[in-house]
Structure 1
Amino acid sequence: MIIVPEAAIADLVTPEDAFAAVEAVFAAMSRDEARNFPVVREALPGPEEALYGFKGGVDVVGGALGLKAGGYWPHNLERRDLINHQSTVFLFDPETGKPTAMVGGNLLTALRTAAASAVSIAHLARKDAKVLGMIGAGHQSVFQMRAAVKQRAFEKVVGWNYHPDMLSRLADCAAELGLPFEEVSLDDLGARADVIISITSSTAPSLMDAHVAPGTHIACMGTDTKGKQEVEAKLLARATVFTDEVAQSISIGEAQHAVGQGLIAEGDVVELGKVINGDHPGRSSDDEITLFDGTGVGLQDLAVASAVVARAKETGAAIKVDF
Structure 2
Amino acid sequence: MLILSEAQARQLVGIDDAIEAVAATFRAMAKGAARNYPVVREGVGLNDAVFGVKAGADVSTPFLGLKAGGYWPGNMAKGLGNHQSSTLLFDPATGRAAALVSANYLTGIRTGAASALATRALARPEASVLGIIGTGGQSPHQLACTARVRNLTRVHGWDTSAESAARFRETVEALGLDYVAEADPEAVARAADVIITVTPSQKPILQKAWIRPGTHISAMGADTKGKQELDTALVAAARLFVDEAAQSVSIGEFQHAFAAGLIGPEALTPLGAVLDGSATGRHAADEVTIFDGTGVALQDLVVAELAWRKALESGAGVTVDY
* Aligned residue in 1 for 2:215: 216
Instruction: Give, as a single letter, the amino acid of the residue that structure 1 aligns with 2:309.
Output: A
- Cα distance, 1:264 vs. partner? 0.6
1:298, distance to aligned residue in structure 2 (A): 0.3
> Hey, what does 1:32 align to over in structure 2?
32
In the alignment, what sits opposite 1:16? 16
Contact 2:208 2:234 in 1 (8 A): yes
Instruction: Please report how far the alpha carbon of residue 233 of structure 1 lies from its aligned counterpart in structure 2 after TM superposition.
Output: 1.0
Matched residue, 1:129: 127
- In the TM superposition, residue 262 of structure 1 has moved relative to its aligned partner by 1.1
Cα shift at 1:108: 0.5
Deviations 1:221-254 (A, max 9, x none): 1100000001111111111010100000000000
- How far residue 318 of structure 1 moved from its aligned partner, in angstroms, is 2.6
Q: Which residue of 2 aligns with 1:231?
A: 230
1:62 shift after superposition: 1.1
Trace 1:1-323 onto structure 2 (pairs within 5 A): 1-46=1-46, 48-78=47-77, 80-184=78-182, 185-323=184-322
TM-superposed CA distance for 1:11, in Å, is 1.2
Partner deviation per Cα, 1:96-145 (whole Å, 9 max, x = no partner): 11111100010000000100000101101000002100100110111101
Cα distance in 1 between the residues matched to 2:245 and 2:131: 25
**Alignment partners' CA distance in 2, 1:68 and 1:187:** 35
**Counterpart secondary structure, 2:204:** coil
Whether the 8 Å CA contact 1:186–1:211 is kept in 2: the answer is: no
Name the aligned partner's letter for residue 57 of structure 2.
Answer: V
Q: CA deviation at 1:281?
A: 1.3
Shift of residue 191 of structure 1?
A: 1.7
User: What fraction of aligned residue pairs are identical, expressed as a percent?
Assistant: 47
Give the drift of 1:314.
1.1
- State the shift of 1:188 in Å: 2.3
Moved more, 246-255 or 151-160: 151-160
User: 3-state DSSP class of the match of 1:280?
Assistant: coil
Q: Which amino acid aligns with 2:314?
A: T
CA RMSD of superposed structures (Å):
0.8
- Give, as a single letter, the amino acid of the residue that structure 2 aligns with 1:54: V
- Aligned equivalents of 1:270, 1:313: Cα separation in 2: 37
Q: In 1, Cα distance between the equivalents of 2:269 and 2:245?
A: 7
Shift of 1:84: 0.4
- Hey, what's the Cα distance between the residues in 2 that align with 1:186 and 1:286? 23
Query: Which runs of 5 or more structure 2 residues have no equivalent in the other structure?
Result: none
Distance 2:226 2:250 in 1: 10
Structure 1 CA distance for aligned equivalents of residues 215 and 167 of structure 2: 24
Q: TM-score, normalised by structure 2?
A: 0.98
Tell me the alpha carbon deviations over residues 18-42 of structure 1, each in whole angstroms, 9 at most, x when there is no partner: 1011000000000000000000001
Structure 1 ranges of 4+ moved more than 2 A: 184-188
**Residues 4 and 317 of structure 1 are in contact (CA less than 8 Å); yes or no, is this contact kept in structure 2?**
yes
Query: What do residues 194-228 of structure 1 show as CA deviations (whole Å, max 9, x unaligned)?
Result: 00000001111111111111100000011000000
Q: 1:6 Cα deviation (Å)?
A: 1.4
Contact 1:254 1:293 in 2 (8 A): yes
Task: State how far apart, in whole Å, the 2-side matches of 1:257 and 1:64 are.
Answer: 33
The amino acid that maps onto 1:166 is: S
Aligned pairs, number: 321
Q: Distance between the aligned counterparts of 1:202 and 1:84, measured in 2?
A: 15
Is the 8 Å Cα contact of residues 8 and 317 (structure 2) preserved in structure 1?
no
Give the whole-Å Cα distance in 2 for the aligned partners of 1:27 and 1:153.
25
> What TM-score does the superposition give when structure 1 sets the normalisation length?
0.98
Given that 1:142 and 1:169 are in contact with CA atoms closer than 8 Å, whether structure 2 keeps it comes out as no
Secondary structure of 1:150's partner?
A: helix
| Superposed displacement of residue 187, structure 1 | 2.4
